[in-house]
Chains A and B, each alone.
Chain A
Amino acid sequence: METIIAVKHLVNQFGSQRVHDGLDLEIRRNEVLGIVGGSGSGKSVLLRTILGLNTPTSGEIYFQGQELTGMKRQELACLKRRWGVMFQRGALFSSLSVADNIQFALREFSHLTPAECRELMLVRLEMVGLEAHVANKFPSELSGGMIKRVALARALVLDPQVLFLDEPTSGLDPVSAEEFDQLITTLHHNLELTVVMVTHDLDSLASVCERIAMLVDKRIVDGTLAELLASPHPQIRQYFSGRRAQAIMRENTWNGMPTTS
C-alpha cells in the first residue's frame, strides 16, 4: 500500500530527556493506524510533531513525498487543510456555537455562501449522528460524548485525507465508546479516510485499528494486533498481558484472531 505520511529518524529531546530516538513510522493510505504506548512513552509528542505543533530536535516528516519541516509557512498551511484533527478534549471554541465551530474553516477557507456553509455543516452533524438542534448550542452546554462528536464533525468539515484522533474514546462510557468506534469505522469506509488514532482503549485497538504502531524504547514497533501479540519483546508482552487486555484478546480469539496464549 502507498505511504501517505512518513516519519524518518525522528529525535525529540527536552532538556536531558530524550523522548524519541531515531524513530521511523509509515502511515499508509486508507488504513486505520493506532498509536499506543504506556503513559509518558511519547505518543502525544509524536502526534504533535507530525501535526507541526512541536518542532523536532532532528528528523524529517513527509506527507505524500513532500518534506514538511523545511516547508514555507503558507505551503504548510495549505497542506494542513487536507488534515483533520480531533483533540482529546475537543478543543471546541468556547465562544462559538456548535454551528459556528463546524463552519469556521468553511467560512475561512472557501468561497461558499453562508447558506451553503450552513447546509454543509448540517451534513457533517448528520454524519457524526447528531440532531440538527445541537447546532445552536454552545460547547459548555454539551455532554462529553457530544463534544467528541462535534469535534469530529469539525475535523471532517474540510474533507480531510488524513484524520488524526487523540484518544477519541477517552472519557466516554462503554456504550458511547463503542458507538464512536463504529462511527469512525463507518466514516473510514465511506469517506476513504486515512485515520491515525492515539488511544489507550484496547477495544478500539481490537475493533477499529487495522495496524498498530507501538512506542517501545523511544522507537516504533508496528504490525497487526496479532503480530504485536506474538512479539517476544518484554515491554510489548507486558502491555498486552494485563487482565483487561487478556479479556479483550480472548474475545477476539473467538472472532478468529490468534493470540499468544
Chain B
Amino acid sequence: MIELETTRQEGTLRLNLQGKWTFAEADAIKTQLSAIGLEAAVGVVVDASALERLDVTAAWLVYQQAQVWQQQGAEIRFEHFPAEYLGYFEKARQRDQPVMGWGAFLQTPVRRLGQSALALLATLRSFITFFGHSLVGLVVALFSPSTFRFRSVFHHVFSTGISAVPIVALIACLISIVITYQGGGQLRDLGAEMYTVDMVAISVLRELGVLLTAIMVAGRSGSAFAAEIGLMKTNQEVDALRVMGGDPFMILVIPRLVALVIALPLLTILADIMALAAAALISSAILDISFSQFYSRVALNVEFRTFAAGLIKAPFFAVVIALIGCWQGMRVTGSSESLGEHTTKAVVDSIFLVLLLDALFSVLFYQLGF
C-alpha cells in the first residue's frame, strides 16, 4: 500500500512518501502524484525517509513527476531517495536520443523502389551463385565418386520418396476420382462416356500426375530441406562443417538434390498408376465401363509418349524443388523468425517455379508437336 502525505509551507511543497512503493502500485502512484498541483509552491521536497520499500519502477514514476514540476518552474529536492536510482535515471535520460529515425518512414517511393530492385538483383545473384555451385558440386561428384555420399542419398530418397508414398498415392486417387466423376457425367449426357477414359488417362499422364506429385513434394520436402539446413545454419553446424574442411554443398545440398531427382520420377510413376487404377474403378462403377474395356481403350488411344511427356518433367521439377529448398535454408540467419520466413519462401517459390516450368514445357511440347 502506498501512502502520501503532503504539507505546504512557505512556498515549499513537501511530499512524505510512506509504505511500500512498488511496481504493483504503479497505477495508484501515477494517479496520486498527478493529482497534486504545484499551486504557489516554488520548491518541492520529496522525502523518502519513511519508506518501507521503493523499487525502480515506482522511483522512476516519482522522478518523472518531479521532472514535470521542474519544467513548471519548481525546484526539486530529493531527501533520502536512493542515490543509485537517481544516477540511473539521470544517465538514461541523457542517453535517450530519438531512435528509429523517421528517415525510414519518410523515404521517397523512388528510393524504396530502387532499394527493392537492388534487393531483387541481390537475391537473383545469390540464387545463380548457388545454382552454379551446385552444378560444380555435381560435376565433382561425377568425376570423383568417393566424395559422393551414397548413404546420405539413400536416407533422403527414403525420407522424400518412400515416406511420401501413402499421401501421393492418396491424392492421385482423389484427383482421378474427381475428374472421372465430373467428366464422365458430362460425357454420358452426350453418349460419349467412353471418351472419359481418354480424358482421364491423358490429363493425368501428361499433366496432373506429375504436377500434383511435385506440389506435394515441394510442400513436404522443400520445406523440410529449408528447415533442416536453416536450423543447421543457426546452430553454426554449417560453419563447423566448413571449418573441418567439409564442403556444405557436397555434404548437404548434392545428396538432397540427387535423392529428389531419383524420388520424384518414381513417385510420379506411382501417382500415374494409382490415378489410372482409381479411374478404372470409378468408371466401372458409374459408367459401366469394364476393366478390360478400360484397359484396351487406354492401350489403343494413349501412346507411350503421353506418359513420357509427363515423366520427363519430373526430374526438372525435382531440381527446382531441391535447389530452392536448400538455397532458402542456406539464407537463414540467426533468428527463429528468419527460419520461418525462409521455410515459407521455399515452399511458395518452388511451387510457383514448378508451375512456371510446367507452362514453359507445355509451350515447348506444343511447338515440338510432342
Could you say which of A5-13, A69-77, A134-142, A176-184 contacts chain B? A134-142
Known: A116-B64, A190-B82. A122 touches B23 (CB 8 A): no
Chain A's interface size range is 20 to 34
How many A-B pairs have beta carbons closer than 8 Å: the answer is 77
Q: Of A127, A132, A133, A138, which is within 8 A of B88 by CB? A: A127
A94-B99 in contact (CB<8A) = no
Q: Is the beta-carbon distance between B335 and A122 smaller than 8 angstroms?
A: no
Known: A95-B337, A159-B22, A159-B57. A123 touches B92 (CB 8 A): yes
In angstroms, Cα B333 to Cα A141, docked, is: 10
Expressed in whole angstroms, the Cα–Cα distance for A55 and B55 within the complex equals: 31
Could you tell me if A111 and B26 are in contact, using CB atoms closer than 8 angstroms?
A: yes
For B333, what are the chain A residues with a Cβ–Cβ distance below 8 Å? 140
Range, interface on chain B:
20 to 34
Asked if B91 and A126 sit within 8 Å, CB to CB, the answer is yes
B303 located at the interface, meaning its Cβ lies under 8 Å from any Cβ of chain A in the complex: no
Interface centre among B27, B56, B58, B91 (most CB of A within 10 A): B56
Closest residue of chain A to B55 (Cβ to Cβ) is: A159
Given A95-B337, A191-B55, does the pair A126, B99 have CB atoms closer than 8 Å? no
Whether A94 lies near B100 (C-beta < 8 A) is no
A119 at the interface (CB under 8 A from B): yes
- The 6 closest A-B CB pairs, nearest first, are A140-B334, A159-B55, A94-B335, A95-B337, A132-B95, A126-B92
In the assembled complex, the CB of B96 is this many whole angstroms from the nearest CB of chain A, namely 5
The residues of A with any CB-CB pair to B shorter than 8 Å are: 94-95, 99, 110-112, 116, 119-120, 122-127, 131-133, 135-136, 138-141, 156, 158-159, 186, 190-192
Chain B interfacial positions (CB closer than 8 Å to A): 22-23, 26-27, 53, 55-58, 60-61, 64, 82, 84-85, 88-89, 91-93, 95-97, 99-100, 333-337
Contacts of B58 in A (CB 8 A): 159
28 A-B residue pairings within 8 Å (CB atoms) = A95-B336, A110-B27, A119-B60, A119-B93, A120-B60, A122-B93, A122-B95, A123-B56, A123-B92, A126-B88, A126-B92, A126-B95, A132-B95, A132-B99, A133-B99, A138-B334, A140-B334, A141-B334, A156-B56, A158-B57, A159-B23, A159-B56, A159-B57, A159-B58, A186-B84, A190-B82, A191-B56, A192-B53
A136 near B22 with CB under 8 A, answer no
